[in-house]
Amino acid sequence: MGVSPDEYRDAVRRFASGVTVVTVAMGDELHGMTASSFASVSLDPPLVLVSLDKTSRTRTMIATAGSFAVNVLAK
């Protein structure tokens, strides 16, 4: 399921700064971590930037899985 350009633009413009939770699933294994380094890079195609330490387990799992989710915390 994709996100329309308008939905993407609306979501990222509301995030000036804050905390996100980056999650990844590999088979039955789920993993997540908090990340405050998150930014929108492009509207077309919709791209985001999340900075993760190269030794982190999350980054390794994302590289293997090929996808991840970013959850923006409201409070």
Q: What tokens appear for 23 in the block?
A: 């999650």
Q: How confident is the model at residue 37 (pLDDT cuts 50, 70, 90)?
A: confident
> What per-residue confidence (pLDDT) applies to 45?
86
How many CA atoms, within 13 angstroms, populate the side-chain half-sphere of residue 53?
Answer: 5
Q: How confident is the model at residue 39 (pLDDT cuts 50, 70, 90)?
A: confident
Residue 75 has pLDDT above 70, yes or no: no
Residue 1 has pLDDT above 70, yes or no: no
Of 42, 75, 72, 71, the closest CA to residue 24 belongs to 71
C-alpha distances in Å from residue 72, one per residue of 11, 20, 32, 65 = 9, 5, 13, 21
